[in-house]
Amino acid sequence: MTIAQAALSGILLGGLYALMAAGVSVTWGVLRIINLAHFGLILLGSYLTFELASAWNVDPLVTLVVSVPAMFLLGGAAQWAFDYLKISELNSLLVTFGLLIIIVQAVSNIWSADFQRMTATVNPYATGSVHIGRFVFPVPTLLAFAVASIVILGAHLVLRRTFLGRALRAYAEDRPIAAAFGIDHRRIGVLLAAASGATAAIAGALFALANALTPATAFEWFGTVFAVVILGGIGHLVGTLAAGVFVGALSSVVSVVLSPAAAPFVLFSAIVLALLLRPQGLFPVGQRQ
């Protein structure tokens, strides 16, 4: 019973991991940018939700009206700068890490390095839970899984069924040929990065519903998010969702069966095996999305 509860809770939490990883996976797979600043956008989204809910008594989910457009603009502006400066894939790792450090320091200066958490009076979702038989599921994790599934599967349909999606996939597969057919890679690249920024805002808000915040939290996401990106296959949205579910369930079950300290060891062992045996990812979905 305890293991089943842990596995189901981990699956729901995996939706949040997948949403955090989706922007990193797509920008890396399509734009060839390893965007560590994405973690900073998630952090900013979390703190905007905290600030608007705590200071202005705005419903935490309604704060997305502010945070999503803000992160959309920041994500697009960053990609425009990367493209203008012709940042290579390797250099993007260094440049975006520098941007992440700047964002973390700015957050620390504005909100301090202390733990911040929305109180129950402004965050009605924190203490809610849903009972299904003998299983109990916190409302924040249910919301995270539902929203992540809708966003990721919706983005998958856009990339598979629309002209913009086909243009992005063509650009990812062969840039010179795509440009020869008139695809404006700069414009669609900025749009894709902006959309990734919007997903970062959503992930940040959902994270803030159930967790305390510190500026250093952004660094704590590295291992789990990159595990999801690698296991799901770089650039594969559906694979990212499947990998998030797998990582969440695996971490939760290992924490219960062994100990929380053993979960990272098992998780990164899975990454090593994946890189050795299936470098394209555990959940390939045909061609890159």
* pLDDT tens across the length of the chain (289 residues): 688 888 888 899 999 999 999 999 999 988 889 999 999 999 999 999 999 999 999 999 999 999 999 999 999 999 999 999 989 888 999 999 999 999 999 999 999 999 999 998 899 888 888 888 788 888 889 999 999 999 999 998 988 888 878 887 777 777 777 766 677 778 888 999 999 999 999 999 999 999 999 999 999 999 899 989 988 888 889 999 999 999 999 889 888 888 888 888 888 887 788 777 776 666 654 444 4
pLDDT recorded at residue 282: 65
3-state SS, 214-261, equals CCCHHHHCHHHHHHHHHHHCCCCHHHHHHHHHHHHHHHHHHHHHCCCC
Q: Is 192 exposed, middle or buried (0-12, 13-18, 19+ CB in 10 A)?
A: buried
pLDDT recorded at residue 134: 80
- Which run of H or of E encompasses 86? none
pLDDT recorded at residue 129: 81
pLDDT recorded at residue 170: 79
User: How is 186-210 classified by DSSP, letter by letter?
Assistant: HHHHHHHHHHHHHHHHHHHHHHHHH
Residue-range domain boundaries for the chain: 2-277
User: What is the token pair recorded at 193?
Assistant: 């990065």
pLDDT recorded at residue 276: 78
CB 136 within 8 A of CB 130: yes
Q: What are phi and psi of 36, to 5 degrees?
A: -70, -20
pLDDT recorded at residue 280: 66
CATH number of 2-277: 1.10.3470
